[in-house]
Amino acid sequence: SVIHRSDYQEPAFWIDSVDLCFDLDPAKTRVLNKMKMRRNPHVVPQALRLDGEELNLSRVLVNGQGTSFKMEDSQLVLENLPAGNDVFELEIFTTCAPAKNTKLSGLYTSGDSFYTQCEAEGFRRITYFLDRPDVMASYTVLLRADKSKYPVLLSNGNLVEQGTLDDGRHFAKWVDPFKKPSYLFALVAGQLVAREQRITSRAGKEHLLQVYVRPGDLDKTEHAMNSLMASVAWDEARFGLSLDLERFMIVATSDFNMGAMENKGLNIFNSKYVLANQATATDTDFGNIESVVGHEYFHNWTGNRITCRDWFQLSLKEGLTVFRDQEFSMDLASEASARAVKRIEDVRVLRTAQFPEDAGPMAHPIRPDQYLEINNFYTVTVYEKGAEVVRMQQTMVASGPSDPLGREGFRKGMDLYFQRHDGSAVTCDDFTQAIADANPDSKLAQLLPQFKRWYSQAGTPRVKAVGSFDGASGTYSLTLSQSCAPTPGQAVKEPFVIPISLGLISADGSEVASSMHVLTQESETLTFTGLQAEPVPSILRGFSAPVILDFAYTDEQLLALLEHDTDPFNRWEAGQRLALNRMMAFISQDALAVADMKLDARYIEAMRSVLRHPKLDAAFKELALTLPSETYVAEQLDVVDPQRIHAVREALRAQLATALHADWEWAFEAHHENGAYKPDSLSSGRRALTGLALAMLCIAARTSGDTVWPGKALQRFKDAGNMTDRFNALAALVTSGSDLAAQALQRFHAMFKDEALVIDKWFALQAGATDRGGNILPIVKQLMTHPDFSMRNPNRARSVIFSYCSANPGAFHRADAAGYVFWSDKVIELDAINPQVAARLARALDRWKKLAEPMRSAAREAIARVAAKPDLSNDTREVVTRALSED
Ligand code: ARG
Ligand code: ZN
């Protein structure tokens, strides 16, 4: 049943300590749980209700004596506990079946090893418990298992004892020195090996860092270890936060629902975010590993030391920790241009994934008000928009020239946050209050109640800007008006607090003004005086707030910004607007055939100047020369025909490929390098640009009939010294529909047949390839019969099914509805195996109401078909019910 934020009540009991003993066995693991508990004196005396799921209960003892209990739904209810506030001991003995746990929540096996995933509510699948984040306890864990099958036995905290037992078994005892909520519990058992590193912190303390993987993967752990060391150093330097444990472990598993998990002292990761070497991982993989390792490490303070009072507060730890990992990656990319590239990439994710979520049936505030299944709220809204809301708080504690970005003020706020709340489970209100209280004179403090609407209102605000210039007085006025469309359950929105970073550029390209304006009213007008001529406004620099900016820029203005803006984000944005305006114009002219859509020379010349620019760096050029994604374009339209968007984008890409042929050749030759591989931002930028150039040259070859460049791509594919270049060459052949693609794909599979993460790429590339006459769906179905395909492994299921349904709109949205029928079959099939993965896939049709007919009706029918299944999980049910709701 639906849970409401407003219903929060303190727990009726506290758990002071937990003593767990596991006898690990894949078919039947025995769990003995001894808890020291007491009543919460603030709550009226009542029965104890413990959560449990898919457990076999065999014994319950209170202070060593048998006791009466009953089951109500999935809860274990104890009504006859001792009265008064004294501590009592509750002992519960259960068994569970890790090998049958295909949901990958709780204790499960992957390969021959045991892993856990307890966030959000997986601990109740291990033992009966008060499985909520505000119950923080001290844990002692004894693990027992067969020594030869499970030589490594890990849990949170410190290893205090280990030894052998009878029958070839052994044990390990772990004690976590910190209190924690149950969602941070973890254990791992199996045949694993570790890369180890000893470090000394600033404070002079010694720590042991370990990265555990399967034997054979050790040569792919160096980058994760480097990222972990960099994370430790960064959190000390930027926030004064040190590692608080003697030992910090990361373990990789190939079966994992999400990215990774910040269990205290024992982070468990999807292997995708740990394993990398130059032969198997791309630059993107290296970058993702750096940020996910950082993210989970930073949770140790923002999440673990201070945790969430209830799951509605999820953004308290996730929004803040994403903000921290984004800042970490930007700080590691030392050059200013690389910082900007990271910012552009983060904004691109926000706009292509979060904006649609905020405009669709699953829209929710970063602090949601209700949920049926909390796992559905680990969203880009809670994470990425949450991070933007934290970033705005930093911006709004800036105190002038001495702290223009607000970093110092924000640091003071963080210090106060830890001073007040270390060791407790708190709310988003507690966080914003601490940041504001530490900066009493800031804009944030002045506007706090209104600012907090970012936590309570869903939807992306739209800021409309209109400029007018009065030549006689030399005055430019800019009127900014905000609005926000209704979202489910929120018909009317109050004005937000929107920090808008502004600049004015004069005709000769120099900057004549710059300021930070905080928009609080529905409409405000700014005036700038003393101007010779009408300036071009550069609005929302650095994407200073998560809003949609409407300004009727002319081509001349956009070209001026693209050439002269000092803000790299808006420089990139100007190029995107130039492209978007053209794409929109072509899409909307219903009678216009794709063959007649001609890019104008002005746009082509602008792109040529960017590509040939002597000062811009390669990574920026790659971003600027990439057309807005199909998903982003779709969001700008009221009625969406995904195939037409796809056709238009392909056509324009082909023209850019052909018109700039000589420039792409130059770019390819000038940027490709043969030196040793390094994953740093400069050389990865060069690889990104050569990759784009090669793809463009292969696309141009398709039109011209040239065979030279596809041949070069094949050669490069064969000779490449790293996965980035190899994969880009392969992708260039596949996307351009080259005849050489098939043999390259075959060769790629043969080369990497034992590297699961590379085989995921192989599947994803084919399922995400350009549709030619409806050929992708049959390819996808064929791929699912491949011996390497498995529905049970989330990475593999995602590599085929999600790459098609969520990442390939031109192929998925078919007029014959076959894509939707396939989708509904797979949602239903996956739901029986793993509801979390199924519910994610169910989100692929979130925006069905915008589709043009006949897709719209067909999509609704497919969703209704899923919704009609009687025994759907809460996860999938919540998604499809919301999708069908009239709200
Ligand atoms: N806290 C983890 C992270 O952001 C995500 C775990 C989510 N897992 C889940 N099943 N909902 O790093
Ligand atoms: Zn997180």
Say whether 669 is catalytic: no
Say yes or no to pLDDT of 717 above 90.
yes
Determine the distance from the C-alpha atom of residue 353 to the mean position of all C-alpha atoms in its chain, rounded to a whole number.
10
Please report, as a single letter, which amino acid is at residue 442.
Answer: S
For the stretch 371-397, pLDDT in tens is 999 999 999 999 999 999 999 999 999
pLDDT exceeding 90 applies to what percent of the chain? 98
* Rounded Cα–Cα distance for residues 879 and 368 (Å): 15
Atom index in ligand 1 nearest the CA of residue 295 equals 12
Contact criterion met (CB below 8 Å) for 759 and 753: yes
Alpha carbon of residue 589 to chain centroid:
36
How would you label 758-791 residue by residue, b for 16+ Cβ within 10 Å and e otherwise? Answer: bbbbbbbbbbbbbbeeeebbebbeebbeeeebeb
Euclidean distance between CA atoms 702 and 706, whole angstroms: 7
Q: What does the pLDDT read at residue 808?
A: 98
Best residue among 117, 131, 261 to mutate for probing ligand 1, ranked by most atoms within 8 Å of CB: 261
Q: What is the pLDDT at residue 154?
A: 99
**Best residue for ligand 1 mutational test, from 378, 379, 834, 837 (most atoms within 8 Å of Cβ):** 378
Cβ pair 225, 275 in contact under 8 A: no
At 672, the pLDDT band (50, 70, 90 cuts) reads: confident
Confidence of residue 675 (pLDDT cuts 50, 70, 90): confident
β pairing state of 48-51 and 498-505 = unpaired
- Residue 115 to residues 26, 92, 106, 155: CA-CA distances in angstroms? 11, 22, 8, 10
Q: Could you tell me the pLDDT band of residue 140, with boundaries at 50, 70 and 90?
A: very high
Q: Which ligand is nearest to the CA of 257?
A: 1
CA distance 863 to 848: 9
Mutation pick for ligand 1 pocket among 53, 103, 116, 119 (CB with most ligand atoms within 8 Å):
119
- Of the chain, the percentage scoring pLDDT greater than 70 comes to 100
Q: Is the pLDDT of residue 464 over 80?
A: yes
Mean pLDDT over residues 100-109, rounded?
A: 98
Helices (H) then strands (E): counts for the chain: 31, 31
3-state secondary structure 467-492: EEEECCCCEEEEEEEEECCCECCECC
Cα(798) to centroid(ligand 2), Å = 20
Distance (Å, whole) CA 793 – CA 790: 6
Nearest Cα to 181, choosing from 241, 126, 119?
A: 119
Please choose, from the candidates 393, 460, 399, the residue with its C-alpha nearest in 3D space to the C-alpha of residue 428. 393
Q: Rounded distance, CA 817 to CA 504, Å? A: 49
Q: Whose alpha carbon is nearest atom 11 of ligand 1?
A: 375
Q: What number of CA atoms fall less than 13 Å from residue 443's CA on the CB side?
A: 20
User: Beta strands of 297-409 (E only): which ranges?
Assistant: 307-308, 370-371
Q: Is the dihedral of CA 253, 681, 282, 834 positive or negative?
A: positive
Cα end-to-end span (Å), the chain: 19
| pTM summary value | 0.99
Q: What is 729-795 written as a DSSP string?
A: HHHHHHHTT-TTHHHHHHHHHHHTTT-HHHHHHHHHHHHTSPPSSS-HHHHHHHHTTSTT--SSSHH
pLDDT at 674 > cutoff 80: no
Q: Is the pLDDT of residue 789 over 90?
A: yes
Instruction: Tell me the sheet residues that pair with 3.
Output: 371
Backbone φ, ψ for residue 677 (5° rounding): -75, 130
Q: Which of 121, 296, 573, 635 is catalytic?
A: 296
| pLDDT band per the 50, 70, 90 thresholds, residue 4 | very high
Q: In what order do the strands lie in the sheet with 475-483?
A: 523-528, 475-483, 462-470, 548-550
Q: How far is 237 from 119, CA to CA, in rounded Å?
A: 29
Atom of ligand 1 nearest to the CA of 318: 4
425 closest CA partner among 520, 503, 308, 504: 308
Mean pLDDT score of the chain: 97
Q: Report which of 506, 564, 565, 510 is spatially closest to residue 540, judged by C-alpha positions.
A: 565
CA of 320 relative to ligand 2 center, distance in Å: 9
Rounded to whole angstroms, how far apart are CA atoms 320 and 340? 20
Q: How far is the CA of 263 from the centre of ligand 1 (A)?
A: 10
Distance (Å, whole) CA 702 – CA 384: 39
Q: Which residues lie closer than 8 Å to 843 by C-beta, 6 or more apart?
A: 362, 806, 879
Please name which of 216, 272, 253 lies closest in space to residue 108, comparing C-alpha atoms: 253
**Sheet of 511-519, strands arranged across:** 511-519, 498-505, 536-539
> Residue 439: what residue type?
N
Ligand 1 neighbours (beta carbon < 6 A): 119-120, 257-258, 260-262, 295-296, 318, 375, 378, 836
For ligand 1, atom 3, name the residue with the nearest CA: 261
Residues in contact with 832: Cβ distance below 8 Å, sequence separation at least 6, in sequence order: none
The DSSP symbol for 799 reads I
What is the C-alpha separation between 754 and 733, in angstroms, rounded?
23
| Separation CA 164–CA 622 (nearest Å) | 57
Q: What is the pLDDT of residues 252-296, one digit of tens each?
A: 999 999 999 999 999 999 999 999 999 999 999 999 999 999 999
Whether 241 and 301 have beta carbons less than 8 Å apart is answered as yes
Compute the CA torsion angle 314, 319, 324, 327 (nearest 10 deg). 170
pLDDT digit string, tens, across residues 607-647: 999 999 999 999 999 999 999 999 999 999 999 999 999 99
Q: Would you put residue 759 in left (φ > 0), alpha (ψ -120 to 50) or beta?
A: alpha
Encode pLDDT of 416-444 as tens digits: 999 999 999 999 999 999 999 999 999 99
Q: What are phi and psi of 65, to 5 degrees?
A: -110, 150
Pairing of strands 548-550, 462-470: parallel
Q: Report angle CA 274, 198, 304 to the nearest 5 degrees.
A: 60
Q: What is the pLDDT of residues 337-358, one digit of tens each?
A: 999 999 999 999 999 999 999 9
Count of CB atoms situated within 10 Å of the CB of 60? 18
Q: What's the pLDDT score for residue 507?
A: 81
Q: Report the greatest alpha carbon distance in the chain.
A: 95
Q: In the predicted model, is pLDDT for residue 203 greater than 90?
A: no
- Which is nearest to 271 in space by CA: 295, 288, 252? 252
Between the CA of 573 and the centroid of ligand 1 the distance, in Å, is: 32
Contact at 8 Å (CB) between 453 and 405? no
One DSSP character per residue, 164-207 reads E-STTEEEEEEE-SS-B-GGG--EEEES-EEEEEEEE-TTS-EE
Ligand nearest to the CA of 835: 1
**Which of the ligands is closest to the CA of residue 317?**
2
Contacts of 307 (CB under 8 A, 6+ apart): 133, 136, 180, 181, 184, 317, 424, 425, 426
pLDDT at 660 over 80: yes
Strand partners, 464: 481, 550
Q: What is the pLDDT of residues 554-613, one digit of tens each?
A: 999 999 999 999 999 999 999 999 999 999 999 999 899 999 999 999 999 999 999 999
- Spell out the residues 6+ positions from residue 370 whose beta carbon is closer than 8 angstroms to its own: 2, 3, 4, 5
Q: For position 811, what pLDDT does the model report?
A: 98
| Residue keyed to tokens 């979520």 | 357
The ipTM estimated for the assembled molecules is 0.98
Atom of ligand 1 at shortest distance to CA of 383?
Answer: 4
Identity at 327, one-letter amino acid code: E
What pLDDT shows up at residue 28? Answer: 98
Q: Which residue's C-alpha comes closest to atom 1 of ligand 1?
A: 261
The amino acid at residue 166 is: D
The reported pLDDT for the residue numbered 219 is 98
Give the per-residue pLDDT at 335.
86
- Give per-residue pLDDT as tens, 398-421: 999 999 999 999 999 999 999 999
Atom from ligand 1 closest to the CA of residue 374? 11
> Which residue's structure tokens are 């001792």?
82
Q: Which ligand neighbours the alpha carbon of 184 most closely?
A: 1
